[in-house]
């Protein structure tokens, strides 16, 4: 879907965001091309670009001769406009139960600095807040970027969250985190505006930002981490739901004879596809030694790596465990794809790099067979464009997205 602009003064903010979005995705456009691709009048484009030039967000960058580019018609040479990549930055924090990752993202989506370290396993949210603040300061110091161009801090955290109040509410994989007002705590300590969102939603926002062609308009982002979750973009809108907690796929039943879940059902994703459940399967079958001490995310992660290493060495039992996990996750994906009719599934998260060889071999074809739209079109399944840091990059994109992305929903209120 290609968005078109409107020329009323009440939608000035929307139009400016639209122009900036086009410049950012294209890498450089002339005013004529901007008018053509947004549907805005030449005068509106001229006014907007003037404001953006004065704010130092875009710059004039050389000229293109008519005929050089597809969209160009007759006339004098046209000045290309492009983003000033150092004009704005955002900090992204991904609070994963096992790893804390922080990135500094420039306005064009480039990671200019990153830090990561293990998330403190002690159930002491205050200690984690202090660590986040310290790591942000260290990141900014090493990146040598002033505070002034930094738009704000985004935090991606496991759900559920209280989006309105910026509170993390009892996430199953962060022991001791009960109603922690993380957004305000980090804002107070750093002095920056802070936005908080679910990790899976942040990942979906990152994917949308990194999609230079702007073609990823309806997709499900399957997040493979300590827990499994889903970020959703439908008809080019990020789906957050009424309370900011959309995408909880953990209690979709994929194995009716599977283990009992805290929710009272049997064989939910949360107890049959997570790294912890695959590790337990492998231990029960004697594939991994049943000598593991502890059940914390980092210990599980180490055991999961051992399982993947065995599979990579063609260990038949390890392969079976991963395949069974793949079958179950495929069933859950089919539920989501059939419900929302998305065009693609994008997969990422901390487990993706380790699981991708088996996932890619198994899931796309199996999923295709389960979809009611199989005779209409094939739903593509691909790995993330944003790499292992998708959560942190997404957190930074939340800030840029809030400031820079055109939204028809806000247009209705303008």
In the complex with Zn ion, the residue whose CB is nearer, 157 or 270, is 270
For 77, the 3-state DSSP assignment is coil
- Asked if residues 323 and 201 have their Cβ atoms less than 8 Å apart, the reply is no
Q: How many angstroms from the chain centroid is the CA of residue 302?
A: 24
Residue 261 CB, shortest distance to Zn ion, in Å, is: 3
In the complex with Zn ion, the residue whose CB is nearer, 71 or 265, is 265
Q: Which stretch binds Zn ion (CB under 5 A): 53-61, 243-251, 375-383, 401-409?
A: 243-251
In the complex with Zn ion, the residue whose CB is nearer, 25 or 251, is 251
Q: Which stretch binds Zn ion (CB under 5 A): 136-144, 205-213, 255-263, 328-336?
A: 255-263
Q: Rounded to an integer, what distance in angstroms lies between the CA atom of residue 142 and that of residue 277? A: 39
- Asked if residues 32 and 71 have their Cβ atoms less than 8 Å apart, the reply is yes
**Around Cβ 294, how many Cβ atoms within 10 Å?**
11
In the complex with Zn ion, the residue whose CB is nearer, 14 or 223, is 223
Residue 328 CB, shortest distance to Zn ion, in Å, is: 13
Task: Check residue 260 for interaction with Zn ion (CB under 5 A).
Answer: no
Residue 334 CB, shortest distance to Zn ion, in Å, is: 18
Q: Which stretch binds Zn ion (CB under 5 A): 111-119, 162-170, 179-187, 261-269?
A: 261-269
Task: Check residue 32 for interaction with Zn ion (CB under 5 A).
Answer: no
Q: What residues contact residue 89 under an 8 Å CB cut-off, 6+ apart?
A: 104, 105, 106, 107, 112, 145, 149, 150, 151
For 395, the 3-state DSSP assignment is helix
Task: Check residue 251 for interaction with Zn ion (CB under 5 A).
Answer: yes
Q: Which stretch binds Zn ion (CB under 5 A): 14-22, 59-67, 236-244, 266-274?
A: 266-274
Residue 104 CB, shortest distance to Zn ion, in Å, is: 38
Q: How many angstroms from the chain centroid is the CA of residue 251?
A: 21
Task: Check residue 263 for interaction with Zn ion (CB under 5 A).
Answer: yes
What are the backbone dihedrals phi and psi of residue 152, each rounded to the nearest 5 degrees, phi first?
165, -175
Angle at 296 between CA 295 and CA 301, to 5 degrees: 95
Q: Which stretch binds Zn ion (CB under 5 A): 213-221, 254-262, 349-357, 372-380?
A: 254-262
Task: Work out the widest C-alpha separation in the chain, in whole angstroms.
Answer: 75
Task: Check residue 266 for interaction with Zn ion (CB under 5 A).
Answer: no
In the complex with Zn ion, the residue whose CB is nearer, 207 or 255, is 255
Q: What residues contact residue 228 under an 8 Å CB cut-off, 6+ apart?
A: 222, 249, 250, 269, 270, 273, 274, 329
Residue 131 CB, shortest distance to Zn ion, in Å, is: 31
Angle at 24 between CA 22 and CA 26, to 5 degrees: 65
Residue 382 CB, shortest distance to Zn ion, in Å, is: 28
Burial grade of 132 (CB within 10 A; 0-12, 13-18, 19 or more)? buried
Return the residue of 155, 163, 268, 333 that touches Zn ion, per CB under 5 A: 268
Residue 260 CB, shortest distance to Zn ion, in Å, is: 9
Task: Check residue 240 for interaction with Zn ion (CB under 5 A).
Answer: no
Q: Which stretch binds Zn ion (CB under 5 A): 20-28, 149-157, 221-229, 262-270?
A: 262-270
Q: Rounded to an integer, what distance in angstroms lies between the CA atom of residue 163 and that of residue 323? A: 36
In the complex with Zn ion, the residue whose CB is nearer, 261 or 319, is 261
Angle at 205 between CA 229 and CA 331, to 5 degrees: 30
Task: Check residue 112 for interaction with Zn ion (CB under 5 A).
Answer: no
Q: What residues contact residue 187 under an 8 Å CB cut-off, 6+ apart?
A: 153, 193, 194
Residue 277 CB, shortest distance to Zn ion, in Å, is: 12
Length of the chain, in residues = 414
Task: Check residue 261 for interaction with Zn ion (CB under 5 A).
Answer: yes
Q: Which stretch binds Zn ion (CB under 5 A): 60-68, 72-80, 246-254, 371-379?
A: 246-254
Residue 269 CB, shortest distance to Zn ion, in Å, is: 8
**Which helix (DSSP H) or strand (DSSP E) does residue 231 occupy?**
strand 228-234
**Total binding residues for Zn ion by CB under 5 A?**
5
Which residues contribute to the site for Zn ion (CB under 5 A)? 251, 261, 263, 265, 268
């Amino acid at each position: 879907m290609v968005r078109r602009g409107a020329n009323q003064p009440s939608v000035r903010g929307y139009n400016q965001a639209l122009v900036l979005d086009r410049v950012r995705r294209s890498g450089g456009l002339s005013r004529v091309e901007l008018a053509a691709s947004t549907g805005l009048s030449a005068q509106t484009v001229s006014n907007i670009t003037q404001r953006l030039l004065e704010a130092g967000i875009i710059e004039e960058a050389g000229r293109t001769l008519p005929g050089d580019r597809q969209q160009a018609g007759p006339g004098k040479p046209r000045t290309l406009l492009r983003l000033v990549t150092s004009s704005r930055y955002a900090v992204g924090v991904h609070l994963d139960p096992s790893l804390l990752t922080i990135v500094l993202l420039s306005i064009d989506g480039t990671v200019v600095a990153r830090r990561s370290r293990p998330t403190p396993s002690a159930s002491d949210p205050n200690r984690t807040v202090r660590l986040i603040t310290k790591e942000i300061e260290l990141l900014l110091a090493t990146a040598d970027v002033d505070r002034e161009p930094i738009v704000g801090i985004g935090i991606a955290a496991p759900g559920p969250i209280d989006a309105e109040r910026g509170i993390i509410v009892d996430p199953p994989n962060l022991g001791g985190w009960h109603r922690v007002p993380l957004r305000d705590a980090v804002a107070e300590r750093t002095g920056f505006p802070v936005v908080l969102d679910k990790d899976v939603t942040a990942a979906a926002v990152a994917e949308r930002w990194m999609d230079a062609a702007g073609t990823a308009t309806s997709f499900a982002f399957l997040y493979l981490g300590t827990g499994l979750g889903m970020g959703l973009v439908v008809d080019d809108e990020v789906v957050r739901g009424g309370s900011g907690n959309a995408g909880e796929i953990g209690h979709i039943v994929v194995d009716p004879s599977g283990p009992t879940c805290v929710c009272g059902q049997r064989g939910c994703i949360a107890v049959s596809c997570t790294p912890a459940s695959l590790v337990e399967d492998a231990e029960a079958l004697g594939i991994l030694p049943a000598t593991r001490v502890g059940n914390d995310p980092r210990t599980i992660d180490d055991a999961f790596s051992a399982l993947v290493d065995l599979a990579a060495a063609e260990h038949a039992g390890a392969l079976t465990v991963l395949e069974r996990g793949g079958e179950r996750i495929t069933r859950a994906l089919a539920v989501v794809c059939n419900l929302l009719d998305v065009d693609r599934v994008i997969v990422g998260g901390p487990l993706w790099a380790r699981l991708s060889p088996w996932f890619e071999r198994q899931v796309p074809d199996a999923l295709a067979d389960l979809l009611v739209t199989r005779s209409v079109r094939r739903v593509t399944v691909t790995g993330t464009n944003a790499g292992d840091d998708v959560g942190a990059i997404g957190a930074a994109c939340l800030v840029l997205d809030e400031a820079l992305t055109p939204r028809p929903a806000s247009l209705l209120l303008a």
